[in-house]
Amino acid sequence: MSDALISRSPDLKRLDDEGFELEIRAGHILVHAVPYVKGDGTLARGTLVRALNLTPSGETTVAPSNHTIYFSGDTPCHRDGSPLDSIIHSSNHRDLGSGIEVDHFFSSKPEGTGRYDNFYDMIVAYEGHLGRPARSHDPSANARTGRKLSSAGEASPFQYPDTASARYGIGAVTSKLAVAKIAIIGLGGTGSYVLDLISKTPVREIHLYDGDQLLNHNVFRAPGAPESESTEDFPRKVDYFSRIYARTHGGIVPHNVRVTADNVEELRGFDFVFVCVDKGSVRRIIAAGLHQLGVPFIDTGIGVGLEGNQLDGCTRVSFVPANADWAMVERFLPFGDDNEDDEDVYNKGIQIADLNALNATLAVLRWKRSIGFYRDLRRELNSAYMVEGNMLSNRTPDAEGI
């Protein structure tokens, strides 16, 4: 990934050709061995760090979004040992994630437009700010060392660099999401939106469980707009969605089966499971299996029906920690099924894309809170959104006497 990005991006290739020590890691470009003067007048080498801006395909760079850059090293100084205040905006040690730690934040606008046209111009400009005082001591001090770093590349489930986390400086927080394995059971509606959101996290493997085919009505409550050719042969849901999201995430594993009491044991060892099924009897089997295996999970549900000539209903997200007691599970999860012979069955069990998306979003938010990505002080176990009134109610452990 790193070598390909450098070779396809004219500005990065020019830096590489001139001998800069480049590394692409976690959506950043790191320029190592940049010479500078320390406060005691001695010379040292540090690292310039900048979040990359890429095309949507992630194959080439585009112009930097602003004129700032990070630096890892001691406080850079002039020849006389006074700090380079003209470029130092702030000095604070910061962890950007993936082993990238920085100490200073630089800000220096180029003359004219105040923006750098490419990363070559930016890196050369900042190397000049740091290197000129160093070269007044030693004319050979230069960041163009000609050394090539290892091209093994970073271990990442993404098909291209995560420049979003890099852009906003949340790499260290995002790394909390890099768990080994997550499963999504059911891809009919809510589950497909859960996949859409989870595919944008650094989870190593995302396992999809569903034994059904993708039919026309499924397309109307799933993310994206499929090409007709991709659905005309009625593909299995897991195969269809794994192909789509493999473009972004490299660790998606399809399982063309329904989870039953006979195979729920396969979920042993998963870090987390999202249960997105619509039958209470199936929900009970899965919940009982996960509870026995000690695997934490979130169960989702939607209840929408016709009321006159309008729709009304709710969405539900129930969080079941690994150490939950079964009584709590039974309290929150609906295990009953509608009677299939009921003449009113067609007015029940309605699913709408926006409610599927909301249900999935609330579920993923709850998961992210559970592992410390988002702040979580109330630790709710059950959350229900009511359409009429636009209300969200939570049931917390304290409220339940747990």
Q: Do 221 and 364 belong together in one domain? A: yes
Q: Do 67 and 153 belong together in one domain? A: yes
Beta bridge partners of 83: 77
- Percent of the chain surpassing pLDDT 90: 70
The three-state (H, E, C) secondary structure of the chain, written as one string: CHHHHHHHCHHHHHHHHCCEEEEEECCEEEEEEEEEECCCCCEEEEEEEEECCECCCCCCECCCCCCEEEEECCCCECCCCCECCCCEEEEEEEEEECCEEEEEEEECCCCCCCCCCCHHHHHHHHHHHHHHHHHHHCCCCCCECCCCCCCCCCCCCECCCCHHHHHHCCHHHHHHHCCCEEEEECCCCHHHHHHHHHCCCCCCEEEEECCCECCHHHHCCCCCCCCHHHHCCCCEHHHHHHHHHCCCECCEEEECCCCCCCCHHHHCCCCEEEECCCCHHHHHHHHHHHHHHCCCEEEEEEEEEEECCEEEEEEEEEEECCCCCHHHHHHHCCCCCCCCCCCCHHHCCCCCHHHHHHHHHHHHHHHHHHCCCCCCCCCCCEEEEECCCCEEEEECCCCCCC
- Rounded to two decimals, the pTM is 0.81
Is the pLDDT at 41 greater than 70, yes or no?
yes
Q: Give Cβ neighbours of residue 243 (< 8 Å, ≥ 6 apart).
A: 230
- Percent of the chain surpassing pLDDT 70: 93
Q: What is the mean pLDDT of residues 173-182?
A: 93
Q: In what order do the strands lie in the sheet with 88-97?
A: 21-25, 28-37, 43-51, 68-72, 100-107, 88-97
Q: Do 104 and 198 belong together in one domain? A: no
* Residue 172, in any domain of the structure: no
End-of-domain residue from the set 158, 191, 218: 158
Q: What is the mean pLDDT of residues 328-340?
A: 79
Q: Do 380 and 237 belong together in one domain? A: yes
Q: Given pLDDT bands bounded at 50, 70 and 90, which one contains residue 220?
A: confident
Q: Given pLDDT bands bounded at 50, 70 and 90, which one contains residue 345?
A: very low
Q: Given pLDDT bands bounded at 50, 70 and 90, which one contains residue 232?
A: low
Question: How many CA atoms within 13 Å lie on the side-chain side of 287?
Answer: 27
pLDDT of 348 reads 59
Q: Do 140 and 185 belong together in one domain? A: no
* Residue 89, in any domain of the structure: yes
- The domain of 214 spans 179-395
Q: Do 131 and 208 belong together in one domain? A: no
| pLDDT tens for each residue of 80-129 | 999 999 999 999 999 998 889 999 999 999 988 899 999 999 999 999 99
* Residue 220, in any domain of the structure: yes
pLDDT of 219 reads 79
| pLDDT tens for each residue of 259-281 | 999 999 999 999 999 999 989 99
* Residue 174, in any domain of the structure: no
Is the pLDDT at 230 greater than 80, yes or no?
no
Q: Do 184 and 145 belong together in one domain? A: no
pLDDT of 343 reads 44
* Residue 348, in any domain of the structure: yes
Number of domains into which the chain is organized: 2
pLDDT of 344 reads 47
The mean pLDDT of the chain is 90
